[in-house]
Structure 1
Amino acid sequence: MLNQQTFQFEKVSAIKVSEFIREQLEEAIILKEMLSEDQLPSERELAEIFNASRITVREALSALEAKGLIEKRVGAKGGTFILPITANAHKRTKEEIMRDWDQMLHVFEYRTIVEPEGAFLAAERITAGELELLESYIVQSVQPDCSREWFRALDVKFHLTIAKASGNPYLESAVRQIRTKINPALDLMPYNEQVRSLNQGVHTEILEALKAHDPARSRDTMKKHIAFSADAIYSRLVSPEQQEGNEQ
């Protein structure tokens, strides 16, 4: 007879098709792959994309609307549109993040293992085109007309491009998972010239290490950057009085 204590099976958890659709759309929104004011395909088109019924798609969209991620508009220019995440993040996510802070700490821990090693591999495998992409993200992030939402999107693109450059699809998938978990917390960060300048500096440091194809320096620089981000998120959440005057 098998000893059940030697196994760690998970209990069966049936997921509704609408939840499956909602999770994929929510991930794309949180990872800024769909941006504020982008229009979603129609219910009919989404039903075809997901091979599901329109009723199921409608249920998924209702869940996203309840979370404040999308908005349905009527009229000649109506449809379903993505709402600006960063503008509403402080209303929607702060209490949720604090409530699940222990889980967030596990994600931070996981990130300090995964992303630095991804940068290590990327330094060996990154292409000239990917380096140009990273540089363009940094340049765009300091432009005077760079909005808060686009700034956050560029940050995500920067990190996901490095993960893809690692050449390891499992690692890339892990970074996507991590960013989906931490982006709501990062969206709570202030947005001002000091933040933009600091971001430019650390991202440029990472980029230079990648350009030099220096795996060890790329890993160490990424690890330092991630540790700083975790500390900033923690300070932001536990010291709400420091938020005054930091928003733009």
Structure 2
Amino acid sequence: MDDKGWTHHISPVRSAGAAEAIARRLGELIGARILVGGDRLPPEKRLAELFGVAVMTVRHSVAVLREDGLIETRRGRGAGTYVVADVLSRIGELTALHPYTLADVEELTAWRIAVSGEASARAADRASEAGLARMRELESAADAAVAEPEEYRTADAGLHLHIAELSGSRRLLEAEQGIQHELTRLLAGHPGGTGARSMPDQLHRALAAAIEGGDPALARAQFTVHAEATADLLLPFVQQPTGTAASH
């Protein structure tokens, strides 16, 4: 299927500001690596049904994403609307127009610890054997992709989204999608080197082991270590307050 099952992440939107909300939601799915370069969007009529709006509303939303350079509409053979192949580069260009600051990274890290830390704790308490097996597969995929920034970003996002799914909370999963979207925006221009991505605290073994061990408190603590390590990776690339240097 063209949609790879991602359309279950879509729900109807309110009529007021619906076009903007739809564009924002689709952009978030792209940023969270649920939709990646080359993926085909459903026809506008189908999107309108999924979001519970008129086709014209969807058409406006698609136009916004097209203007941002995140999607393209092809004619002729293989006609349809697709996520552009170099979407991470385009996200990096858009992010550069409004660079992140030290305060942004600190706020994102606090958000991650609150949301993803709780998701990790709940996953440790609730995950099934099948869910844990899938987590191990995703962890291995992320570890194998450390040398390729784009592949690693996709695998890393997929792992954290799966942990959020294991929490059993739809709200935590939706919040995690927003978090991964923000991380993609931050990392698109400055993904870090292979060495940085290979550091123990950047890898996921300790976090996965805590979840596998059914230890919610340890899972939450290990996620905090992981989130803070990611923040340290990002800090050299964000705007610092005038006269201030990052210290860690």
Same fold (TM over 0.5): yes
Change (3 A) 1:237 1:208: same
Distance 1:51 1:122 in 2: 32
Q: For residue 111 of structure 1, what is the amino acid of its counterpart?
A: R
Give yes or no for the alignment of 1:58 onto 2:59.
yes
Q: Offset of 1:164 from its aligned partner?
A: 2.0
Q: Offset of 1:205 from its aligned partner?
A: 1.7
How many corresponding residue pairs?
225
Change (3 A) 1:114 1:42: closer
CA contact (8 A) 2:105 2:231 kept: no
Identity level (%): 26
Change (3 A) 1:141 1:177: closer
Distance 2:24 2:91 in 1: 18
CA contact (8 A) 2:138 2:155 kept: yes
Quote the residue 2:71 is aligned against: 70
Give yes or no for the alignment of 1:94 onto 2:93.
no
Quote the residue 1:230 is aligned against: 231
CA contact (8 A) 1:141 1:196 kept: no
Q: For residue 190 of structure 1, what is the amino acid of its counterpart?
A: P
Q: Offset of 1:28 from its aligned partner?
A: 1.4
CA contact (8 A) 2:70 2:90 kept: no
The structure that is helix-richer by fraction is 1
Q: Offset of 1:53 from its aligned partner?
A: 2.7
Q: Offset of 1:223 from its aligned partner?
A: 0.2
Change (3 A) 1:15 1:178: farther
1:160-210 Cα shifts (integer Å, max 9, x gaps)? 111222233333333233333333113333365324533796212211121
Provide TM-score, normalisation by structure 2: 0.78
Provide TM-score, normalisation by structure 1: 0.78
Matched residue SS, 2:203? helix
The 5 A counterparts of 1:128-207 are 128-143=129-144, 148-190=149-191, 192-198=193-199, 202-207=203-208
The 5 A counterparts of 1:3-152 are 15-83=16-84, 84-98=86-100, 102-143=103-144, 148-152=149-153
Matched residue SS, 2:82? strand
Distance 2:81 2:21 in 1: 19
Change (3 A) 1:69 1:199: farther
CA contact (8 A) 1:94 1:237 kept: no
Distance 2:140 2:24 in 1: 32
Change (3 A) 1:196 1:104: closer
1:25-67 Cα shifts (integer Å, max 9, x gaps)? 1121111111110111122322333333332211101101122
Q: Which runs of 4+ in 1 moved over 6 A?
A: none
Worse-matched range after superposition: 197-206 or 71-80 = 197-206
Q: Who wins on radius of gyration, i.e. which is larger?
A: 1
Matched residue SS, 1:97? coil
Q: Where do 5+ consecutive residues of structure 2 fail to align?
A: 1-14, 241-248
CA contact (8 A) 1:138 1:200 kept: no
Change (3 A) 1:146 1:133: farther
- The Cα RMSD (Å) is 2.7
Worse-matched range after superposition: 103-112 or 78-87 = 103-112
